[in-house]
A and B are shown apart, each in its own frame.
Chain A
Amino acid sequence: MKINFGNSKYFINPQYSWLEFNNRVLAEALEKDNPLLERIKFLSIVSSNLEEFFMVRVAGVKKHKEAGITEGGSPDLIKPDIELKSIRERVKKLIKNQYVLFYKKLNPILKKQGVEILLNYESLIRYKNFLTEVFEREIKPILTPISVGPTHPFPNLVTGRLYLAVGLSVREETDKKIEKSNLSFIEIPTNIQGRFIKIENHNKFVPIENIIKMFVDQIYNGYDIESAHIIKITRDADFTIDEADETSDLLHELETTIKQMHKRSITKFEYEKGIPPRILNTIIDKNNLKRNDIYQINGLLNFNDLMELYKKIDKPELKDSPLLPIFDSNFSGKNIFEDIKRKDFVLFHPYHSYEPVIELINQAADDAGTLAIKQLLYRTSSNSPIIKALIRAAEKGKYVTAVVELTARFDEKRNIEWTKKLQDAGAHVIYGIAGLKTHAKALMIIRKENNEIKKYMHLATGNYNEITAQIYTDLSFFTCDDSFGEDISSLFNLLTGFSLPTGFNNVSIAPIDLRNKILSMITRETDNAKNGGKARIIAKMNALYDKEIVEALYQASAAGVKIDLIARGICILRPGIKKVSENIKVKSIVGKFLEHARIYYFYNGGNEEYYLSSADLMTRNLDRRVELLFPVKNEQSRKFIQKILKLQLEDSLNSYILQPTGSYKPVLKKTKDNKNYFKQIYEGIKKNEKKNIKKTKNKFIIRKSAEE
C-alpha cells in the first residue's frame, strides 16, 4: 500500500513543539549541577522566549482563527480553537513550574549564598532611609502617572512594559474642581538602574516596583491608595510591512510601524495576584480582553529581568567559568588577507574567537588596496565595531554596500539608527528585496592587489554581532576562492537590484533554489538507498518546520536512509513511525550556549558533502527570506565540521531525544560517562591549537582607539 507521507497524523504541532523546547530550557534551570546564576539565567530565558512566543506564534494562531479559518494552519491540521486552548494549558503549567522553581528553590539558595532579593514590604523597612533617597532623587522625577477619568481616556499600554495599576479613592478635603479618578497607571521605569536596585553595595536587591509601591502615596496627593498591583500586556508583533516601491519609504514606514506597535492586538495579559476585581474588570473591558489571554501571576512579573541579576550579582563562583576564546592558528595575527589566501577555513564560535571576523573588516577599512566592502547585515549590536569599521571605510572612500534587514524582528529600532549613520558616511545602504527578509550572512571584500583583483569572503551561519557571538554557537567560513567570489558578487548584485541571478557555481540561494537543492540532495540519498547503497543525512538546525522537506525526509527514511536531525527548537517531524520515520532520530541540544549553526551533511555515495547555511528548514526561511547555503570543500574544514557533528550526536549531557508522542526525553542524565559536547569541543579545539601555538603567534592586537 502506498503511504501518504503528508498525513496530518505524521506531523507534530509547531506550537506544542516550541513549548516543548521552552520546557527544555526550563530543565536547564532545574538542573542542580548547573551553577546557580546559570540556572537563574535559563529561568529568565524561558520568560523572554515565552514573550516572543506570544508576540509571534500565538498572535499568528489568533490571526488564523480571526480570519475564520477553522482548519489548522500547520501540517498537523489542528483547529485553531483547540490549539489555543491547549497552548494555554501548557503555558500555565510552564509558568507554574517557573514560579515554584524560583520561589521554592532558587531564591532560598540565593539567600544561602548571601544574595538577597527583597520581595516583600516588610523586608524593605530596614532600608527605608536608603530607599527614600533613591526614590526622591532618582525615581520620582521621572514617574508619569496616567490617570483614567472622564477627560482622560484609558491609555494604550505599551507591550512588554510593567505598569503599576493603582486603585484610588478621593479624600473628603480634596478640591472639588479637580477631575476625579479612581484608577491610575504608572509605567515602571527601567532606565535608572534597571529592574533590580542594588542596596548599599551589597548583594541585596530590590525590585524597583516595590520601591514605587512603598512611596506611591507621595505621587497621588489628595487621594487614598486603595491598591497597587503590577500588570503587563503583550501585543502581536508579527507585523508585515506593506511592500513599498522606494526604499526610503520602507524606512519611513517601518518607523511608523514601530510607533504604532502599542496599538496592536493583545495576545497576553498578566497581573499580580490580589488586584481588586474592580480594576481587573475595567482593564479587561477597556482592552476587550478574552478570558483565555489572561494570566494571574503569584509573584514577580517579567522573569526576563532576572538576567539583570545574572550580570549584577558579584559572585563569579556562581557562574560557569568564562570561556577564553581560542585564536585559530590559521590566523597569523598579521595580514589577515594573507591568512585567508593560504587556505579556506572554518571557525566555530564562541569556542573560537570572533575577533578575526571583526579584524577582517577593520583591516579592509584601513587597507589602501581595498576597493569595496559589501556586507549583509541582519542583526548587529548597538555599539557594533563592525558598523564603525564600515563607516570608517566609507569615509575613506571605499565603496561600501550594506544590505540591511530593517525588519529583523525586535531589532527594528536599533537598525534604523545605525543605518542612518552609515548613509551619512557615504555608504550605500540597501534594504534588500521588498517582501523578503535578507537573513543570509555574508561579507565580501574586494581588493586590488599587486596585479589582480581579489575577493575575500566571510560566510556565516550567525549574525554579525560580536556580543551574541559569545553565546551563540555559529560557524564562520573564510575563503578567497574565485568561484565563491563570483557567487557572492552575484548575490550582492541580486540584492542591490543591479542584476538578476546569473547562476551560481557553489551556493544556493533562497527563495531561488535553496529549497530545491535541499530536496534534491534528500532525494539523491533516497535513490541511493533504494539502489541498495549506503545513504545518510545529518542535519543540524534551529528548527524543522516545512511540510515538503519533512515529507521528503519520510520518503528517505522509508527507503532506508539513516537520518539524524539535531533540531534545537521546533521540529514538526514525528520520528519513529513505522514505515514512515523509523530511520529518523531527532535530538535537541540545549545547554551552555545557544545552538545556532546550521549544518547539512549528505553521504552522497561516499562523495560526502558538507553544507553550511543561514537557513533553517522552515517554510519561512526557504520561501520568504533570502538565505544562503554553501558547501565546504576544504578537507581540514570538513574534518572539523565532521567532528562537531560527531560530538553533537554523541553528547548525552545536553541532549534530549524527540519521542513519537512529540515530547522530549533527556539522554542518560546521570551516568558516569556523560558526554558533554560543549566541553569536548572546546577541549578538542584547545588541544589542537596548543600544538600550533608554538609555531605561530596567534593573537590579534585588539584595537581600542583606532576607531574612535
Chain B
Amino acid sequence: MKISSKKFKSSIIGLIDITMDSVRLNISETLPKDRLKKIEELWVPVSLGKDIFTKGQISNNTINDLIKIINNYKELLTSYKVENYKTIAVSNLKEAGNFDTMIDRVSNETEIKIELIDPVVETELIIENIKKIISDKNTDILIIVLGVGATILILQSKGKIVFSETQNIGAARMVKTLDIPKKSMDLYYNYLSTKFLTSLNFLPENHKLIDKFVVVNEDILNCLKKTGIKKTADSFRFTKAGFQKYAKNIEKSNLLELQAKLNYQEENVKTIKISLSIIEKISVLIGAKNIIIPDINRTSSLISRISKLKETSYAGFTDITSENIIAGALEIGHKYKFDYAHSEQVRKLSEAIFEGMKDFYNFEPKAKIYLEVASLLHDIGYFVSSKGHHKHSANLIAASEILGLTAEDMVIIAQIARYHRKSVPKPEHSAYSVLPVSKRLIISSLASILRISDALDRSHTQLIDCLKVKILENECELQLKINNGHNDHIEILRDIIAGKSDLFESFFGLTLKLSRL
C-alpha cells in the first residue's frame, strides 16, 4: 500500500530591516503551520533618523556605516546559504534630501535591492501584535507608537480601530528640545503632549474614557528590560502611579550610570528620558488607568509576515479587515459631522451596484473598499463649505488616515469622492491626471457608481430598501425596491439619474435603466 503524505519542506529566510535608528537582520527557519524558528538576530544602531531630522539628509558616514552593516549581514546570510532574503526600509527615509543617491550607493556597493515598506503596514504589524497581547474587547485602548521620525496614535474601541493619525514629531525631533532652558522644559512637554492629543478631542465623547494606554517605543522597552523591571510573559504593565514613579526615577537617575546600564550613547539616554516624560504627561491627560508596554519585536513580526507572502511585493500586505476600515471611515465622518444615514445609504447602494457589476467588469481587489469609504465620506466637505463641497471632501479625505489604507489608497478614495458630482474626470484636472492610468481607471469606474448611488438618495431620505443589478446586452438595469407609499418616486429618480449616468454609461458602455423590483 502506498502511503501518500505531504511532507513539509522547511526553508531559511532572511530579512534585513532598515529603520530610522538601526539596521537589523533576522534569519529564521520556516516550520509547519506557519511557525518560524529564529536562527539569528542582529542589530546595529545607525543614525539615519538623526541625520535626516537634523541635517535634512543622510551623511556620508552614515551611508558608509549602512553599507558595511549590510555587507556583514550578507556574509552571515551566505554562511547559512540563504538565498531567499529581503531588505526593507521604512518609508520615512524618503524624507532625506539625498534619498536617491543613498539608495543608489547602497545598492551599488551591496548588490541588494531595498524595498520601502508603507507606514501603514508597520502600524498594522504593531496592532496585530498588540492584539495578541491585549485581547480585551470591551474597553477603549489608546496606542501610541513613538518612533524616531514620527508618532502614530491609534484608538481602539470595542475591538475596532476607530482612529489613527500620524504626526511628524518623533524622538529625533524631540532631542532638539534639550536646548530649551530646563525651567521651560516642563511647559514644553505639556504643550507637546497636548498637541499629540488634539485630534482625539474631536472624537465623539464616548471615547474619552480610555482604559488602557499602550506605548510602543523600543528605547523605553529596552530601558525597562535593562533596569530590572518585572515583565509578564509579553509586556510590562504599570498602574498610572507606578509608571509615574518609574519615569520620575529614570528622570532623576545619573546620566552616566544609565548609559552604562543600557549600553547606550549619551544622546539616546536623553531621548529615553524625554520619551518617558512625554508618555507620563499623556497618561495624565487621558487619565488612563493602566499603562502597558508590549514586548514586540518589529523585525521578527515582519519576517513572520514575509514568510507567509507568496508575492514578492508588499501590495497585498495589508491584513486589516474591511470592517475595521469602515469603522475608521465612520469615525472620520463623525468628526466632520456627516449625515450618517445618507452616507450609509449611499454606501449600501454603491455596494449593491458594485456587487452586481463585478462579474461584468474586472475590478481590482481593493476597489470595493475604496468605493465604500468614498461613499461614506463623499459629503464631508460640507464641514468646510457647501460651495464646491466635493473638492473639500477630496482634500479632507486625502489628509486623513485610516488604518489599513495607505496614503496612496487615500488619494484614490479622495478622487472618487471628488467626482461624485459636477464635472467628470478631465485631463486638465491636475490631481487626477498626475495619477497613472491604472489608478485613473479605478477612479472613473468607481466615481461613476458613486454618482449613481448618491443620486439615488438625493433626497437624503433613504427611500430605497433594496437594489438589484441586471445586466443585459448594452444595458444595465437597476431594479429598485422603494419604500411603501413612495412608488411614484421612481419617476423622480429616473429624472435625476438621467443627469448623473453620463460617466457610468460612457465608462462601462451600458445604457442605465431603472425599474421597480
A binding-site residues for B, Cβ under 8 Å = 371-372, 399, 428, 446, 448, 451-453, 482, 485-486, 489-490, 493, 496-503, 512
Contacts and interface: CB of A to CB of B under 8 A. Distances in A.
B73 interface: yes
Given A451-B9, A489-B39, A493-B40, A446 B72 contact: no
Contacts of B42: 493, 498-499, 502
A496 B75 CA distance: 11
Contacts of A482: 37
B79 A500 contact: no
Contacts of A428: 75
Interface string B70-89: 00110110111100000000
B109 interface: no
B44 A453 contact: no
A485 B41 CA distance: 11
28 contacts: A371-B81, A372-B79, A399-B79, A428-B75, A451-B8, A451-B10, A453-B39, A485-B39, A486-B38, A486-B41, A489-B39, A489-B40, A493-B42, A493-B76, A496-B72, A497-B72, A498-B72, A498-B73, A498-B75, A499-B25, A499-B41, A499-B44, A500-B44, A500-B45, A500-B263, A501-B263, A503-B225, A512-B263
B29 interface: yes
Contacts of A452: 10, 29, 37
Interface in B452-479: none
Contacts of B80: 371-372, 446, 453
Contact of A371 (B43, B73, B79, B263): B79
Nearest to B40: A489
Nearest to B12: A453
Nearest to B7: A451
Q: Which of B9, B10, B40 has the most CB of A within 10 A?
A: B40
4 closest Cβ pairs, A-B complex: A499-B42, A399-B79, A372-B79, A498-B72
Contacts of B41: 486, 489-490, 499, 502
Contacts of A503: 225
Given A399-B78, A490-B41, A499-B41, 16 more contacts: A371-B79, A372-B79, A446-B80, A451-B8, A452-B37, A453-B12, A453-B29, A453-B80, A482-B37, A485-B39, A486-B38, A493-B76, A496-B72, A498-B44, A500-B45, A503-B225
Contacts of A502: 41-43
Interface of B: 8-10, 12, 25, 29, 37-45, 72-73, 75-76, 78-81, 225, 263
Contacts, number: 56
A371 B40 CA distance: 14
Contacts of A485: 39
Contacts of B8: 451
A583 B222 CA distance: 38
Contacts of B12: 453
Nearest to A493: B42
A497 B40 CA distance: 14
Q: Which of B10, B29, B79 has the most CB of A within 10 A?
A: B79
A415 B323 CA distance: 66
Contacts of A493: 40, 42, 76
Contacts of A512: 263
A616 B80 CA distance: 35
A416 B236 CA distance: 49
A371 B80 CA distance: 6
A448 B81 CA distance: 10
A503 B40 CA distance: 12
Nearest to A400: B79
B260 to A, nearest CB: 10
A497 B76 CA distance: 12
Nearest to A401: B79
A496 B44 CA distance: 12
A451 B263 CA distance: 38
A136 B9 CA distance: 74
Nearest to B11: A451
A399 B39 CA distance: 16
Contacts of A451: 8-10
A178 to B, nearest CB: 63
Contacts of B25: 499
B222 to A, nearest CB: 9
B347 to A, nearest CB: 47
A400 to B, nearest CB: 9
Nearest to B81: A371
A485 B44 CA distance: 20
Nearest to B72: A498
A501 B72 CA distance: 16
A502 B27 CA distance: 14
A453 B9 CA distance: 12
A39 B462 CA distance: 108
A486 B300 CA distance: 14
A372 B39 CA distance: 13
Contacts of B44: 498-500
A500 B79 CA distance: 19
A486 B78 CA distance: 18
Q: Which of A485, A489, A497, A499 has the most CB of B within 10 A?
A: A499
B80 to A, nearest CB: 6
Contacts of A453: 12, 29, 37, 39, 80
A371 B29 CA distance: 14
A399 to B, nearest CB: 4
Nearest to B76: A498
A291 to B, nearest CB: 45
Nearest to B80: A371
Q: Which of A428, A502, A512 has the most CB of B within 10 A?
A: A502
Contacts of B40: 489, 493
Nearest to A399: B79
B73 to A, nearest CB: 7
A34 B40 CA distance: 52
Contacts of A446: 79-80
A373 to B, nearest CB: 10
B9 to A, nearest CB: 7
Contacts of A498: 42, 44, 72-73, 75-76
Nearest to B10: A451
B229 to A, nearest CB: 14
A503 B218 CA distance: 13
A496 to B, nearest CB: 8
A503 B42 CA distance: 10
A500 B12 CA distance: 23
Contacts of B73: 498
B69 to A, nearest CB: 8
Contacts of A501: 263
Contacts of A497: 72
A489 B43 CA distance: 13
A451 B11 CA distance: 8
Contact of A500 (B29, B37, B38, B43): B43
Q: Which of B42, B78, B263 has the most CB of A within 10 A?
A: B42
A493 B44 CA distance: 10
Nearest to A482: B37
A452 B41 CA distance: 17
Given A446-B80, A451-B10, A453-B12, A499 B43 contact: yes
Contacts of B81: 371, 448
A457 to B, nearest CB: 14
B312 to A, nearest CB: 24
A482 B28 CA distance: 13
Contacts of B76: 493, 498
